[in-house]
Amino acid sequence: MLKAIVCEDNDKQRNIFTSIIENTIMREQIDAKVVLSTNEPMKVLEYINNNLEDVYIYFLDIDLNCNINGIKLAERIREMDKLGFIVFVTTHSEMSFLTFEYKVEAMDYIIKDDQSKIKERINSCLLKAYERSNSKGKDDKIFSLKTDDKIINIKYSEILFFETSDTVHKVRVHELNRLVEFYSKLKDIEIQLDERFYRCHRACIVNIDNIKEIDKKNKIIYMINGETCFASSRELRSLVKYICSTM
């Protein structure tokens, strides 16, 4: 589902934009929903932070009459959501260059003064975002994790395996080119993942797409970058059957 968020300080305009989005969703019968319509930027950040796995399109005013404007809000959003669609709906045409300076990768910049085209542009952005979000292959899925000082988004296709850490309550994720450790439990991670991931050991979840070779005698799994992980005897047999069934 594509989730829409509107942040606009003018109540009347916010209701209009929200109504346009909801009417488009109903008319086009797309799997989308307005999950938040607010004048408070911090509510937007709080919502995203609690729902990192979702796909969003954001409609943001620039002048929000508070201590954070729409450009700064978009910058904060982009730190957490690398793939979300950001649309500015504003009267400040002169500030469009800031979207490049702050590298927020805006999908569109709609000027409120052109009332005749606002509805058309919002509709177009919503449908385009929906089409793009549904045309992505499985390798575009993202696993989001929190470390002590940042949020990291990792493509599923770049994950080799997850394993429990020597540090209590921590998990390590082995990527193609790095290792990241974070607080979590394998059982909580397992339920988030798709069919390419398999629990091959009580302490390991492996991405079968990135397996190069399996040594059944020594119960060692060789990954495409040369790293290895272990499998239990029972789970190794099941893993081999599972891989064969998906071929």
Domains, the chain: 2-135 (3.40.50.2300), 157-246 (2.40.50.1020)
Ordered DSSP codes for 113-176:
T-HHHHHHHHHHHHHHHHHHHHH--GGG-EEEEE-SS-EEEEEGGGEEEEEE-SSTTEEEEEES
Write the CA distances from 218 to 29, 125, 182, 198, 233, integer angstroms.
53, 53, 29, 19, 9
**Residue 242 vs residue 169, higher pLDDT:** 169
Please, what is the average pLDDT of the chain? Answer: 87
| pLDDT value at residue 204 | 96
Give the integer Cα–Cα distance in Å for 70 and 91. 12
CB 121 within 8 A of CB 59: no
Confidence category of residue 170, pLDDT binned at 50, 70, 90? very high
204-207/197-201 β-pairing: antiparallel
Confidence category of residue 80, pLDDT binned at 50, 70, 90? confident
pLDDT at 172 over 80: yes
Give the integer Cα–Cα distance in Å for 111 and 123. 14
| pLDDT value at residue 229 | 93
Residue with tokens 């020594």: 218
| pLDDT value at residue 83 | 81
Output helix, strand, coil percentages for the chain, rounded to the nearest 5.
40, 30, 30
| pLDDT value at residue 104 | 67
Phi, psi of 219, deg, nearest 5: 55, 45
**Residue 122 vs residue 70, higher pLDDT:** 122
Reading phi first (left if > 0) and then psi (alpha if -120 to 50, else beta), residue 163 is in beta
The string of pLDDT tens digits covering residues 98-140 is: 554 545 677 888 888 777 789 999 999 999 899 887 765 555 6
| pLDDT value at residue 107 | 82
| pLDDT value at residue 94 | 56
Token code pair at residue 39: 């004048």
The string of pLDDT tens digits covering residues 183-214 is: 999 999 999 898 889 999 999 999 998 998 89
**Residue 34 vs residue 149, higher pLDDT:** 34
Which neighbouring-strand residues pair with 161? 174, 206
